[in-house]
Amino acid sequence: MKVRFWGVRGSVASPMTNAELAVKIETALQLAVKAGLKAETEIPAFMKSLPCYVRETVGGNTACVEIQAGDKLLILDGGTGIRMLGLDMIRRDYGGKPIEAHILLTHTHWDHISGLPFFVPGFNPKNKLTIYGAFSNLEARIRNQQKFEYFPVPLPAAFHFVQLKENSVFQIGDVQIETLPLNHPGGSHSYRMTHQNKSIVYATDSEYKDLSNHSLRPFIRFFQDADMLIFDAQFTLLENIEKEDWGHSNVFCGIDMAIEAGVKKLMLIHHDPAYNDQKLYKIFQDASEYLEIYAPDRNLEICLASEGLTLTV
């Protein structure tokens, strides 16, 4: 399966500010002076040597992850990231056939659906875009977002709906999909996708307040031996304690659960909109050190999800 991250922010879209951009440029120039850069030809190698938080940005779009599994295109959540995915999709070669995609929604908080009205493949009625959700009133919730009071255009005919039940197991072609309810205000649902013996779990918008074995067991079982776990690590540990019942988690909780479940790769997502790149890379660095100290012999890899990051499972 090929995974591409189009939106990795939680709560609300958060574009980089001019002040943040200025700090990046200034830092890069200071490092260039220190490195004694003399010719333009030296720039590409120098760029590669820059710290991640200077060279890159994790991006400001909200939740959207694309998974290509065989000939099936799965899209996890329709946050603002889905707009760029839609523009990319209409440039792809489908051999003259209409576009078919399966959009799996975790829940309908705005950061997970507000990109849907701007998803360009929806404007062609020949395309077939099926939206799935295990929460109640799926179709009404999505249609209501495009009521005249909120958006000038109603939901186009290309969209179809599949209302799931809690704890569903179903197939999309040869991809098996399972769902599990998570701990989140108003509810959220995790998806586990299995294709050719590889599994990816998308588990965002969830809080694990009760860390007892009994309470965590259903989640550990759901994450068991996943090749990739895409995990809500919105807060620092301290902020997670301060923001109890906000329905989100932290990276240390993700690492502990991933180790317990034998996960191979842990992707941190749903970054807090108030955290800039420097803070996010620091959180990632601390998490890497924690993993190194706590479980040096474990086969777990952790990765900070950023816009445009593409991985194969």
CA nearest neighbour of 6 among 54, 96, 71, 67: 67
Ordered alpha helix ranges (H), 60-205: 81-89, 110-113, 138-145
Looking at beta carbons only, is 10 or 133 nearer to Zn ion?
10
Under 8 Å CB-to-CB from 60, ≥6 apart: which residues? 9, 13, 14, 15, 16, 273, 307
State in angstroms the smallest separation of the CB of 147 from Zn ion. 21
State in angstroms the smallest separation of the CB of 273 from Zn ion. 10
DSSP 9: B
**Quick one: tokens of 171?**
């197939």
State in angstroms the smallest separation of the CB of 104 from Zn ion. 14
Do the beta carbons of residue 255 and residue 300 sit within 8 Å? yes
State in angstroms the smallest separation of the CB of 63 from Zn ion. 6
Do the beta carbons of residue 158 and residue 128 sit within 8 Å? yes
Looking at beta carbons only, is 111 or 207 nearer to Zn ion?
111
State in angstroms the smallest separation of the CB of 231 from Zn ion. 13
Which residues in this chain contact Zn ion in the complex, by CB under 5 A?
Answer: 10, 109, 111, 205
AA letter at 108: T
**Quick one: tokens of 33?**
């002076």
Q: How far is CA 11 from CA 138, 170, 263, 291, in A?
A: 20, 29, 26, 27
Looking at beta carbons only, is 249 or 276 nearer to Zn ion?
249
Looking at beta carbons only, is 78 or 121 nearer to Zn ion?
78
Looking at beta carbons only, is 8 or 99 nearer to Zn ion?
8
The residue of the chain with the least Cβ separation from Zn ion equals 109
State in angstroms the smallest separation of the CB of 5 from Zn ion. 15
Looking at beta carbons only, is 24 or 109 nearer to Zn ion?
109
